Amino acid sequence: MSTLVSEDASMDLETVGWVGDARSGHVRLIDQTLLPNEFVRIDLTDVPGVWEAIKTLRVRGAPAIGVAAGFGAVIGARSGTDTRLSLREATAYLRTSRPTAVNLFWALDRMDRVAAEHPELYGAELVDRLLTEALAIESEDKAMCRAIGAFGASLLTPGQGVLTHCNAGGLATADYGTALAVFFSAHAAGKAIHVFADETRPLLQGSRLTAWELQRRGIPVTLICDNMAAQVMKEGKIQMVVVGADRIAANGDAANKIGTYGVALLAKAHGIPFYVAAPSSTFDLSIPDGSHIPIEQRDPREITHGFGRMTAPAGIDVYNPAFDVTPADLIAGIITERGVITPVTTATIQRTFIA
Amino acid sequence: MSTLVSEDASMDLETVGWVGDARSGHVRLIDQTLLPNEFVRIDLTDVPGVWEAIKTLRVRGAPAIGVAAGFGAVIGARSGTDTRLSLREATAYLRTSRPTAVNLFWALDRMDRVAAEHPELYGAELVDRLLTEALAIESEDKAMCRAIGAFGASLLTPGQGVLTHCNAGGLATADYGTALAVFFSAHAAGKAIHVFADETRPLLQGSRLTAWELQRRGIPVTLICDNMAAQVMKEGKIQMVVVGADRIAANGDAANKIGTYGVALLAKAHGIPFYVAAPSSTFDLSIPDGSHIPIEQRDPREITHGFGRMTAPAGIDVYNPAFDVTPADLIAGIITERGVITPVTTATIQRTFIA
pLDDT at A11: 62
With 80 as the cut, is the pLDDT of residue A100 above it?
A: no
Please state at what angle helix B62-77 crosses helix B102-116, rounded to 10 degrees.
40
Burial class (CB in 10 A: 0-12, 13-18, 19+), B290: buried
Burial state string for A14-29 with b = 16 or more CB within 10 A and e = fewer than 16: bbbbbeeebeebbbbb
**Spatial distance between the Cα atoms of B349 and B341, rounded to a whole number of angstroms:** 7
Beta bridge partners of residue A16, listed in sequence order = A29
Residue B217: which residues within 8 A CB-CB, separation 6 or more?
B11, B184, B187
A34-46 pLDDT, tens per residue? 999 899 999 999 9
Per-residue pLDDT tens over the stretch A283-306: 889 999 999 988 888 899 999 997
pLDDT value, residue B11: 62
Which of the four CATH numbers 3.40.390.30, 3.40.50.10470, 3.80.30.10, 3.40.50.12780 does domain B147-353 have? 3.40.50.10470
| A320-349 residues touching B, CB cutoff 8 A | 320-321, 324
Query: Does the beta-carbon distance from A201 to B204 stay under 8 Å?
Result: no
Mean pLDDT of chain A: 93
The confidence band for A353, taking pLDDT boundaries of 50, 70 and 90, is confident
Residues 47-106 of chain B whose Cβ lies under 8 A from any Cβ of chain A: none
Residues from chain A that touch B265, judged by Cβ atoms under 8 A, are: 230, 265-266, 269
Residue A246: active-site member: yes
Decide if A102 contacts A59 (C-beta within 8 A): no
Which pLDDT score, from 0 to 100, does residue A329 have? 98
Backbone phi, psi, residue B336, to 5°:
-115, 175
Task: Give me the pLDDT at residue B9, please.
Answer: 42
Q: Which of A36, A37, A40, A38 is nearest to A15 (CA)?
A: A40
Is B319 an interface residue toward A (CB < 8 Å)? yes
The pLDDT tens digits for A311-348 are 899 999 999 999 999 999 999 999 999 999 999 999 99
**Within a 13 Å sphere around the CA of A85, how many CA atoms are in the beta-carbon half?**
3
B2-145 architecture in CATH? Up-down Bundle (1.20)
Gap from A269 CA to chain B (nearest CA, Å):
7
CA-CA distance, B1 to A129, in Å (whole number)? 75
Residues 6+ apart with CB under 8 A from B30: B13, B15, B16, B39, B40, B41, B59, B171
CA A168/CA A16 separation, integer angstroms: 15
Residue among B246, B284, B299, B317 flagged as catalytic? B246
pLDDT of residue B241: 98
**Cα-flanking dihedrals φ and ψ of residue B250, to 5°?**
-60, -30
pTM: 0.92
Residues of chain B with pLDDT under 50: 1-10
Shortest CA gap B312–chain A (Å):
5
- Structure confidence at residue A309 (pLDDT): 79
Sheet holding B254-257, edge to edge: B283-284, B247-249, B254-257, B323-326
Domain residue extents for chain A? 2-145, 147-353
How many whole angstroms from its chain centre is CA A85? 31
Could you report the per-residue pLDDT of A161-180, keeping only the tens digit for each? 999 999 999 999 999 999 99
pLDDT in tens, B67-96: 999 999 999 999 999 999 999 999 999 999
- Closest among A137, A201, A222 to A175, alpha carbons compared: A137
pLDDT tens digits, B8-50: 444 668 999 999 999 999 999 999 999 998 999 999 999 999 9
pLDDT of residue A130 exceeding 70, the answer is: yes
Q: For B311, which of A198, A208, A258 is closest by C-beta distance?
A: A208
Interface of B with A in 241-300 (CB under 8 A): 258-259, 261-263, 265-266, 268-269, 295
pLDDT of residue B178: 96
SS3 label, residue A79:
coil
Pairing relationship of beta strands B221-224 and B40-44 according to DSSP bridges: unpaired
Distance from CA of A189 to the nearest CA of B (A): 23
Enumerate the residues of chain B whose CB falls inside 8 A of the CB of residue A9. none
Model pLDDT, residue B298: 87
* Of B33, B39, B36, nearest in space to B13 by CA: B39
The size of the A-B interface in CB pairs under 8 A is: 190
Dist CA B261 CA A230 (whole Å):
7
Please tell me the predicted confidence (pLDDT) of residue A98: 85
d(CA B304, CA B79): 42
Q: Are B37 and A310 in contact (CB under 8 A)?
A: yes
Q: Residue A223 and residue B312: Cβ atoms within 8 Å?
A: yes
Q: Show residues of chain B in contact with A311, CB under 8 Å.
A: 199, 204, 207-208, 307
pLDDT grade for A4, boundaries at 50, 70 and 90? very low
Residue A349's alpha-carbon distances to A264, A278, A285, in angstroms, are 20, 13, 9
Q: Residue A284 phi/psi, 5° resolution?
A: -115, 90
In this prediction, residue A19 carries a pLDDT of 97
Chain A: give the shortest CA distance to residue B210, in Å: 10
pLDDT band of A267, cuts 50, 70, 90: very high
